[in-house]
């Protein structure tokens, strides 16, 4: 029977490295938290979140043991893509505050020892950026300097004298990726909105400009950057006809001709040059001037696994010879839902990522379950499964990233008009007062969820058991040697039940930690020792989903006779008797 079960043992290769190194760097095994600044906390009463609000509430993140905060863009922007269209990379948008406010935020973050990571959006600027305005206008005195800052092309001249775009390339947000500019009599390229012209990384001046922007913020003390839209940074060069080769059709079902999925993006996604560019930025972060702390890169790359892993660094003979991002985001558990894959499939995604990590110093896995571009976890999986996924996120080996509000189980809010991604961007629910304590304004930029009186930080902080209390407990557990350095053994009991343990062989001072996740809607009885080796007979419940009434925190359970209620996740802690990892 046993052969039927997926059974994997992964020795985490960093264990011996850590023992030699003795001290972990600040970001290793960290817990990162994504703040969507418009929605975290409004400090000036205008209905939109801002830097003052973040400063006021930063200490809250200490309670959930956050290592570093990634702020979605706070830079000057016309807000066509809520800040991902930047018109001044060196300044703060007035809706968020001023550069002085930013200095205060840095000071507060130092007091609390929470690192600040900025969103770096290098693929494009806003069409309101002065570079683009100059690039559009041949009469501008700086035209020569900015002429090639963006991707310009004459397009195809048709027999009837009219023009058509230089290729069939499509924008991620639908429609042609080319827009005509009268003043320049050329098309420019934009992977996203027409208001987000792509910068031209085939121009060395653009490289230098963007590197100076990184240095500017590094000098202000930021600890790193999340790089936006990485796979889109380069596109193929012009062909012999002076235009661009078309992309082939993807053949994907249910894709209209103007939708991004209609084409196979061989000329515009994950080009080889892109990886080198990420390594180039890493060299900037590693410059002597910034060596008072390690600065890190997170890379947003929705790419196939083998490509996503290349963002860690350039590998030769199985070892990294040139480093890139410390955290190429691992979206595998977000893009593939457990419901679709079943436990066996989910295990495969976890295992594949871990087993394929490149070898090098400071290489860690990371896990992402949500962000501002998708639906919230509690909506995707049901609010009752919130704990289960928070447990999963916090107990796998490596680094975790939490999207604001997931720790209290916030849900999507239907917004009838506007960007469909806004469902997951509504104001943080702090307490039961007006606007969930987010803002004193009469109107907030997006509506507050109706459930805010039952789902908010203050309430959950005061309950004996709550999603937040569980996350706080998980934060403490993450500090243990076992969750940092322990090996991982995974098994599927059936399609709905996933179990794993973290253990350091031969170390009696490090408890063994077992995790049991029952996604299904019926209770399950089984012998956990059948699936996980070397477990003690009795283990103590450290964290358990709040709706479990039969298994409660602090209970002692027999590992060979476990009853796991439906949709419940459990973290068990016990004495580590194992001399060998098996």
Residue 360 Cβ vs ligand GLC, minimum distance, rounded to whole Å: 27
> What character string, x for contact with ligand GLC (CB under 6 A) and - otherwise, covers 109-138?
------------x-----------------
Q: In angstroms, give the least distance from the CB of 373 to ligand GLC.
A: 5
Give 84 or 225: the residue with its C-beta nearer to ligand GLC.
84
> Residue 245 corresponds to which tokens in the numbers above?
């080769």
- Site for ligand GLC (CB under 6 A): how many residues? 9
Residues in the chain: 582
Minimum Å gap between C-beta 53 and ligand GLC is: 21
- For 325, what's the count of Cα atoms within 13 Å in the CB-facing half-sphere? 27
CA 556 to CA 575: how far, in whole Å?
Answer: 12
Q: Copy the structure tokens of residue 511.
A: 């408890």
Closer residue to ligand GLC, CB minimum distance, 191 or 578: 191
Q: Is 60 helix (H, G, I), strand (E, B) or coil?
A: helix
Binding residues for ligand GLC restricted to 433-452, rule: CB under 6 A: none
DSSP assignments along 511-535, one per residue: -EEEEEEE-SSS-EEE-HHHHSSS-
**Nearest residue (CB) to ligand GLC, 49 versus 383:** 49
CB of residue 81 to ligand GLC, shortest distance in Å: 5
Cα separation, 384 vs 519, in Å, equals: 10
Positions 67 through 96 that interact with ligand GLC (CB under 6 A): 81, 84
Cβ proximity to ligand GLC: between 81 and 496 the closer is 81
Q: Is 260 in the site for ligand GLC (CB under 6 A)?
A: no
| Using rule CB under 6 A, residue 229 touches ligand GLC | yes
Count CA within 13 A, CB hemisphere, residue 134: 15
DSSP β-bridge partners for residue 360: none
Which of 36, 187, 192, 404 is close enough to bind ligand GLC by CB under 6 A?
A: 192
What is the phi-psi region of residue 221: left when phi exceeds 0, alpha when psi lies from -120 to 50, beta otherwise?
left
Contact call for residue 228 and ligand GLC (CB under 6 A): yes
Q: What is the closest distance, in whole angstroms, from the C-beta atom of residue 35 to ligand GLC in the complex?
A: 14
- For ligand GLC, the closer CB: 149 or 338: 149
Q: Cα separation of 81 and 422, whole Å?
A: 11
**The token pair that represents 46 in the structure block:** 């205008």
Nearer to ligand GLC, 121 or 393 (CB): 121
Cα-based distances in Å from 469 to 374, 391, 478: 25, 12, 14
CB of 229 to ligand GLC, least distance (A): 4
- How far apart CA 354 and CA 372 sit, in angstroms, is 25
Taking the C-alpha atoms of residue 200 and residue 461, their distance in angstroms, rounded to an integer, is 49
Beta bridge partners of 300: none
φ, ψ (nearest 5 deg) of residue 382: 90, 135
Shortest distance, CB of residue 82 to ligand GLC, whole angstroms? Answer: 7
Q: Catalytic residues, which ones?
A: 228, 300
Q: Quote the tokens at residue 183.
A: 């003043």
What is the Cα–Cα distance from 10 to 487, expressed in whole angstroms? Answer: 6
Check residue 373 for interaction with ligand GLC (CB under 6 A).
yes
For the chain, first and last CA: distance in Å? 18
Closest CB to ligand GLC among residues 170, 572: 170
| Residue ranges that bind ligand GLC, judged by CB under 6 A | 81, 84, 121, 192, 228-229, 300, 372-373
């Amino acid at each position: 029977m046993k052969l039927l079960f997926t059974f994997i043992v992964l020795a985490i290769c960093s264990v011996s490295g850590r023992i030699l190194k003795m001290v972990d760097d600040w970001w290793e095994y960290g817990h990162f938290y994504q703040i969507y600044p418009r929605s975290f906390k409004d400090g000036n009463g205008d209905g939109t979140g801002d830097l003052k609000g973040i400063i006021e509430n930063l200490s809250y993140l200490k309670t959930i043991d956050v290592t570093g905060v990634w702020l979605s863009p706070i830079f000057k922007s016309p807000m066509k893509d809520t800040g991902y269209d930047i018109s001044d990379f060196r300044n703060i948008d007035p809706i968020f505050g001023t550069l002085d406010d930013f200095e205060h935020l840095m000071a507060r973050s130092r007091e609390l020892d929470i690192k600040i990571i900025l969103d770096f959006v290098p693929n494009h600027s806003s069409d309101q950026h002065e570079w683009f305005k100059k690039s559009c206008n041949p009469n501008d005195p700086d035209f020569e300097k900015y002429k090639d800052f963006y991707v310009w092309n004459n397009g195809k001249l048709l027999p009837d004298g009219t023009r058509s775009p230089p290729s069939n390339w499509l924008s991620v947000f639908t429609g042609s990726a080319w827009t005509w500019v009268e003043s320049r009599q050329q098309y420019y390229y934009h992977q996203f909105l027409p208001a987000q012209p792509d910068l031209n990384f085939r121009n060395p001046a653009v490289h230098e400009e963007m590197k100076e922007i990184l240095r500017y913020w590094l000098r202000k003390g930021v600890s790193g950057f999340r790089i936006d839209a990485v796979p889109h940074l380069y596109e193929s060069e012009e062909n012999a006809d002076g235009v661009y080769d078309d992309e082939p059709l993807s053949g994907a079902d249910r894709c209209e001709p103007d939708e991004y999925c209609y084409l196979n993006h061989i000329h515009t996604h994950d080009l080889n040059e892109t990886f080198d560019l990420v390594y180039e930025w890493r060299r900037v972060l590693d410059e002597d001037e910034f060596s008072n702390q390690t600065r890190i890169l997170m890379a947003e790359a929705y790419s196939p696994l083998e490509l996503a892993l290349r963002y860690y660094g350039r590998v030769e003979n199985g070892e990294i010879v040139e480093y890139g991002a410390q955290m190429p985001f691992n979206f595998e558990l977000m893009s593939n839902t457990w419901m679709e894959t079943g436990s066996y499939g989910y295990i495969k995604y976890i295992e594949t990522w871990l087993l394929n990590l490149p070898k090098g110093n400071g290489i860690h896995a990371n896990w992402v379950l949500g962000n501002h571009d998708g639906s919230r976890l509690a909506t995707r999986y049901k609010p009752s499964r919130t704990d289960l996924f928070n447990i999963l996120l916090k107990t796998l080996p490596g680094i975790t990233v939490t999207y604001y509000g997931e720790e209290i189980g916030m849900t999507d809010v239907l917004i009838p008009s506007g960007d469909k991604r806004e469902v997951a961007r509504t104001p943080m629910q702090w307490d039961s007062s007006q606007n969930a304590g987010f803002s004193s304004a009469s109107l907030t930029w997006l509506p507050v969820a109706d459930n805010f009186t039952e789902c908010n930080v203050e309430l959950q902080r005061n309950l004996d058991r709550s999603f937040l209390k569980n996350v706080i407990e998980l934060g403490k557990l993450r500090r243990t040697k076992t969750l940092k350095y322990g090996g991982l053994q995974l098994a599927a009991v059936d399609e709905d039940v996933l179990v794993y343990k973290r253990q350091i062989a031969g170390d009696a001072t490090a408890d063994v930690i077992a995790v049991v996740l029952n996604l299904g809607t019926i209770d399950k009885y089984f012998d956990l020792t059948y699936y996980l080796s070397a477990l003690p007979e009795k283990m103590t419940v450290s964290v358990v989903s709040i709706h479990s009434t039969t298994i409660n925190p602090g209970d002692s359970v027999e590992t060979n006779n476990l009853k796991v209620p439906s949709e419940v996740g459990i973290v068990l802690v016990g004495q580590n008797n194992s001399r060998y990892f098996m």
